[in-house]
Amino acid sequence: MSKEHLGELEELILLVILKLEKDAYGLAIRQEIIKQAQRSVTIGAVHGTVNRLEDKGLIESEYGGATEERGGRRKRILTVTAAGLKALERSKDVKMNLWQQIPVLAVNKS
């Protein structure tokens, strides 16, 4: 699959990263997906998908400072790249186009 085609979890994670802004890191992303999508997702699935998105060039990461509450571990803060935004727009456009072609599901056009 090319980097412009997104799986469902990839799309959710990109959207959540944009929503969380400076607070976008693994655990916060997982919690937001559970809250927003009522979907169970493991932290391992989040980290695996984040790594894949970074490999595709759709997100970038940098490490924040170590904190005592995290046992000295640093948060990996994530941001969406221009390519990530483009992939999200394409995904949205494809879905909206399909929705509008299904008469019983299409938004009322009158």
Supply angle C-alpha 17, 19, 23, rounded to 5.
Answer: 65
Question: What pTM did the predictor assign?
Answer: 0.85
Residue-wise pLDDT tens digits, 62-73: 998 777 776 778
Domain boundaries, given as residue ranges, for the chain: 8-100
How much helix, strand and coil, in percent to the nearest 5, is found in the chain? 55, 15, 30
pLDDT of residue 91: 95
Domain 8-100 matching CATH 1.10.10.10: the answer reads yes
* Spans in the chain with pLDDT lower than 50: 1, 110
